[in-house]
Amino acid sequence: MDSASVDEKLDAIIIGWGKGGKTLAGTLARAGQRVAIIEQSSQMYGGTCINIGCVPTKALIHDAESRDGAGYDPQIFHAAVDRRDKLTAMMRAKNFSMLDELDSVLVVNGTAAFTGPKSIKVNAGSEEQELSAETIIINTGALPAVPEIDGAQIGGRVHDSTTIQHAPLPKTLAVVGGGYVGIEFASMFAQFGSKVTVLDRGSRALSKEDADVAAEVQGCLEDAGAEIISSASVRSISQDEHGATVSYEREGEVHRLQSDAVLIALGRVPNTAGLGLEAAGVRTGSRGEIVVDEFLATSAPGIYAVGDANGGPQFTYISLDDHRVLANRLLGDGSRSTKDRVAVPYTIFTTPPLARVGLSEKQAAKQGLDTRIAVKKVAEIAAMPRPKIVGDPRGIIKFVVDARSDGILGAALMHVDSQEVINLVALAMRQRIGAAELRDQIFTHPSSTEALNEVLGQLG
């Protein structure tokens, strides 16, 4: 609808067009409510996932993998970025129309800030609008974290995970951060032909993963030509017309790394600054996250926060489940809560991808659990021909199983199609299907799923 019709009574206001917010807008509207959704950028209709996050980066990763080590070629990268942009533009337009065509949804463009517990001021250039509603939902997502490192400000040759997607393909790239984002981008750019060096301040990259799993990921990165330098504490970054220099300390010595570009990949922080939350009485935590209860309610009555803004796991499917919880609270019996979530999986889209769910062996040991471990390299799994068929038999499969109950406590799958197989494992965990029962399931052939027969068969 036209955003001029702002004097009508609103039942709900949603700030931000991410997965949870846009889905709630449609759900509430179809239930007969009058809803306003506020988005500050027309380039972000649909939220982070489809515009700068999951979808565009995975499109680039797919195109990088398709090159199969063809060397440095900026034109190939340029073509991949062009395809990425066309894909996101199409999805952005679809996301806009899905709400704009609903008569009871008011699309408002501008920057929102609270002026009171039930009121919002929206600035759009020289124009200003006042909106009010009994229910207000904050869905403003997260932004890349910028560390307190001299010269780490984004601009020029220094990038975050958003800006680097449209930068010229660097011949050499320094990645600051050996976490999930840093490793995923390192894998992608190495396959596009960049010489990538990852500087990780920890003793090893992917420190939350078991050592054998992390080693498999690192080996695949090295296959692509990337290098990981651990225990590297970055002190400063400088740049000029010739390149960028990262100064870091390792084992008491100062080193300097020259590169064409630098990617700062040190996580993301909730995007809540500037919302005027104090005017509404909304409490925030130490990282700026909006504090919510298990029903996503903030400290202010009638105000809720969904998605990355509330400090929960930063996945678009968690934002979607936030929608389910809040829709149940606003329209249903209020029985759903975030405590219902069990066995939530995630995937790092390295090549091949690493997918995880539940506890690692290290985490289970820390909890004092009595476990049995089933682990096997993909290349050694006889009953798993699909990775060999598609030409990438690298990876590892690892299960952590409760020794007493046979319940699956967790799994790490790094192989072709792992982003799909992990969902089956997560479902088995939620439905309390034991390792032996999953082991004896009938799976199609040749598939990646059938590896579960052999790997879990090690447990007897």
Per-residue pLDDT reduced to its tens digit, 344-365 = 999 999 999 999 999 999 999 9
Between residues 67 and 87, which one has the greater pLDDT?
A: 87
The verdict on whether 78 is a catalytic residue reads no
Last residue of a domain, one of 210, 232, 266: 266
What tens digit of pLDDT does each residue of 71-98 get? 899 999 999 999 999 999 999 999 999 9
Same domain, yes or no, for 277 and 357?
no
| pLDDT exceeds cutoff 60 at 234 | yes
The single-letter code of the amino acid at 439 is: R
- Residue bearing tokens 């009121």: 119
Residue 386 belongs to some domain of the structure: yes
Closest by CA to 269, choosing from 298, 291, 289, 296, is 289
Write down the pTM of the prediction.
Answer: 0.93
pLDDT digits (tens, 9 = 90+) for 393-426: 999 999 999 999 999 999 999 999 999 999 999 9
- Selection from 24, 56, 33, 31 nearest residue 43 by Cα: 56
Residues 451 and 384 in one domain: yes
Q: How far apart are CA 424 and CA 442, in angstroms?
A: 13
Backbone angles phi, psi at 423, to 5 degrees: -65, -35
Q: In which domain, by residue range, is 453 found?
A: 346-457
- From 340, 359, 393, the end of a domain falls on 340
User: Are residues 279 and 131 both part of a single domain?
Assistant: yes
pLDDT higher than 80, residue 8? no
pLDDT at 1: 36
The count of domains in the chain is 3
Are 34 and 178 part of one and the same domain?
no
Q: Say which CATH number the domain at 331 has.
A: 3.50.50.60
